[in-house]
Amino acid sequence: MKLRRRKSISYAKYGYYFSIPFVVAFLFFALYPTIYTALLGFTNSKGIGNVNWQFLSDPFRNFNVILNNRSFRLSVINTLHIWIVNFIPQILLALLLTAWFTSPSIKLRGQGAFKVMFYLPNIITAASIAILFYALFGYPTGPVNYLLQKLGIVDAAVPFENLTSSARYIVAFIQFWMWYGYTMIILISGVLGINPQIFEAAEIDGATNAQTFFRITLPNLRTILLYVLVTSMIGGLNMFDIPKVMYNGGPDSATLTASVFIFNQAFAGSYLYARASAASMLVFIVIVCLSLVMFILMRDKDEHQQQKAQRALRRTQRKLRKSSGGAVA
């Protein structure tokens, strides 16, 4: 026992050595830029290529300006709007498909192929998808317009790219289309992680499919559902690629998300780095809060698993000790 402890101390330094590259890279490329961005929020930094700045006499001016900026407020509303319109159908469809795919009585065939198809849009470059859908919703000639006209739904081609009412929903639809497969796969793996004995017990008790799903599957999926919700919210708050490439926040700021707003403030027009930094930090605070929820959630799960493993280990040890008459210590 003594010998082993001495050994682990002598090797402990390698734990530090091997973490150095990660820590150094993190400090330089993640922590420093974060602090830098936070600081810039209190300065007058602006102008392309201008890296000289002074701290403002009124440190919170940028934050006040941003919070009272109509475009920023609109961008936050847009972001939430697009996220909600995409997330609700996404989680409902993913849950429905999860119920079908994991139901022992339906035994859906070709699940592997379906999963591959549903997940496909998620892996394709979002910028390419944005351009593809821009072409599909093209005006006056685009497949969607062609279809709508052939089916007699509209008389004349719809100018989607100038239509404020539909732009947000088109972006939300693309987000939905890209992400429901991912959500479904996560949920299915969550269901497969539930103790099968619970399902067996339910079957013996004569529970119907619907009962099993609502009374057993859903409550046991709580943690995973929360994980999906929080990660999707964080991703949604950063929604950038589709609205930027497809409509550049337009038409008439209808798809101006928080990230597109920040980008356009900082890297276009008059290059208002300071103001964009203040906006970044406001979004950052929200994301940190969400991450915190996630972190507490996952830490508990991890610790719970470790405790379980330790208990199992102790049980086995006890058994071994009993069977070998205390020889194994």
Partner 1 sequence: MRRKISSGHVAFRIIAYTVCLLLALLSIFPFVIMLINMTRSTPEIQGATLSLIPSTHFMDNIQILDGKSFNAIIGFKNSFIISASATLLTLYFSALTAHALIAYNWKMRKPFFTFIMAVMMIPAQITGIGFFQFMYKIGMTNNFLPLIIPAMAAPAGVFFMRQFMLASLPLDLLEAARIDGAHEFYTFNRIVLPLMKPALATQGIFAFVTSWNALFMPMVLLTSSANYTMPLMVQLLRGDIYKTEYGAVYLALTMTVLPLFIVYFSLSKYIIAGVALGGVKG
User: Do the beta carbons of residue 228 and residue 183 sit within 8 Å?
Assistant: yes
Confirm or reject binding of residue 88 to partner 1 (CB under 8 A). Answer: no
Both structure tokens of 119: 């997940």
Binding residue (CB under 8 A) for partner 1 from 77, 131, 154, 328? 131
Query: From CA 245, how far away is CA 28, in angstroms rounded?
Result: 30
Both structure tokens of 251: 């038409």
Binding residue (CB under 8 A) for partner 1 from 1, 15, 155, 165? 15
Confirm or reject binding of residue 133 to partner 1 (CB under 8 A). Answer: yes
Residues recorded for the chain: 329
User: Do the beta carbons of residue 237 and residue 79 sit within 8 Å?
Assistant: yes
Both structure tokens of 260: 């597109």
Quick count: other Cβ atoms within 10 Å of Cβ 79? 23
Confirm or reject binding of residue 55 to partner 1 (CB under 8 A). Answer: no
Residues 141-180 that bind partner 1 (CB under 8 A): 141-143, 145-147, 150, 177
In Å, what is the CA distance from 198 to each residue of 192, 207, 216? 12, 11, 8
Confirm or reject binding of residue 320 to partner 1 (CB under 8 A). Answer: no
| Piece of the chain touching partner 1 by CB under 8 A; list 79-87, 164-172, 185-193, 310-318 | 185-193
- Which of 166, 169, 177 lies closest to 158, judged by CA? 166
Confirm or reject binding of residue 259 to partner 1 (CB under 8 A). Answer: yes
| Piece of the chain touching partner 1 by CB under 8 A; list 65-73, 102-110, 194-202, 212-220 | 102-110
Confirm or reject binding of residue 229 to partner 1 (CB under 8 A). Answer: no
Confirm or reject binding of residue 51 to partner 1 (CB under 8 A). Answer: yes
Confirm or reject binding of residue 12 to partner 1 (CB under 8 A). Answer: yes
Count the site residues for partner 1 by CB under 8 A: 106
Helix, strand or coil, per DSSP, at residue 295 = helix
Confirm or reject binding of residue 226 to partner 1 (CB under 8 A). Answer: no
